[in-house]
Amino acid sequence: MERILVAEDDQALRSGIVYTLKKEGYETATAGNIKEIKEALDGPIDAVLLDISLPDGDSRTFLEMIRDSLDVPVIFLTARNTERDMIWGFDAGADDYVTKPFSIPLLLRRLRVVLRRNRKEDSHIYRSGELSYDFRSKILTRNGDGIALSRTEIKILEILIQNRGQVLTWEIMLEKIWDIDGNFVDKNTLSVNIARLRSKIEEDRKNPKWIQTIFGIGYKWSDEDAG
């Protein structure tokens, strides 16, 4: 389920947007100023509806500062509708621009468009809860923090994610891992690497959220809350 950050200092408008988003099946986070936006961005966010004028600063300047680290769609909400304002908004890193007063159905349509576009662009990126893995760069992050993985751990992670929801036997996994460096990998080595991978991504290794052990058979990647 996609999670939308609604950053708007008008409480009535913010509440109305949040009500509609929840009704449409989205999860939401809210903020009324830039300080609260920073706090909200510590968690998983799939898109931001961002009021340009907030009590503690101009959101365009703030977005310019964080855009390199914020890789989700941003739609500006503003009463400023001059061409100069719109250009500045897009230059700051906005994906779309909605001027007040606006209809909620129009805002929802714009939101769906940027989310759909972002999903296509990020098809090589897997997200589940606080985890994010980029198949191109081989970078795994949790809550935005990078996690160092060995080559074998990367291979195991990719095999599990690519076959998520399916039970993979030890034999299947060993066959896929075998040729990383031309070295033999046995069942014990697989178990050790699974344990190391769990220690890096799971909060509770005894009750893992993602890497499930199917006793007597193998493993399964569970991502019921995948984004």
Return the CATH class of domain 125-221: mainly alpha
Q: Where in the chain is the domain with CATH 1.10.10.10?
A: 125-221
What's the pTM?
0.55
**Residue 45 per-residue DSSP state:** -
What integer pLDDT is reported at residue 175 of this predicted model?
81
Q: What is the pLDDT of residues 161-170, one digit of tens each?
A: 988 888 899 8
Q: Where in the chain is the domain with CATH 3.40.50.2300?
A: 3-121
Task: Please check whether residue 51 is in contact with residue 89, taking contact to mean a CB–CB distance below 8 angstroms.
Answer: no
φ, ψ of residue 93 to 5 degrees: the values are 120, 10
What integer pLDDT is reported at residue 224 of this predicted model?
53
Whole-number CA gyration radius for the chain? 21
Residue 135 is encoded by which pair of tokens? 């198949």
CB atoms inside a 10 Å sphere around CB 198? 17
Choosing among 1.10.3720.10, 3.40.50.2300, 3.40.47.10, 3.40.50.300, the CATH entry for 3-121 is 3.40.50.2300
What integer pLDDT is reported at residue 185 of this predicted model?
67
CB atoms inside a 10 Å sphere around CB 155? 20
Q: What is the pLDDT of residues 135-186, one digit of tens each?
A: 888 999 988 889 999 988 999 999 999 888 888 998 888 887 765 454 566 8
CB atoms inside a 10 Å sphere around CB 79? 12
What integer pLDDT is reported at residue 100 of this predicted model?
87
What integer pLDDT is reported at residue 227 of this predicted model?
39
What integer pLDDT is reported at residue 166 of this predicted model?
86
φ, ψ of residue 124 to 5 degrees: the values are -85, 0
Segments of the chain with pLDDT less than 50: 180, 182, 225-227
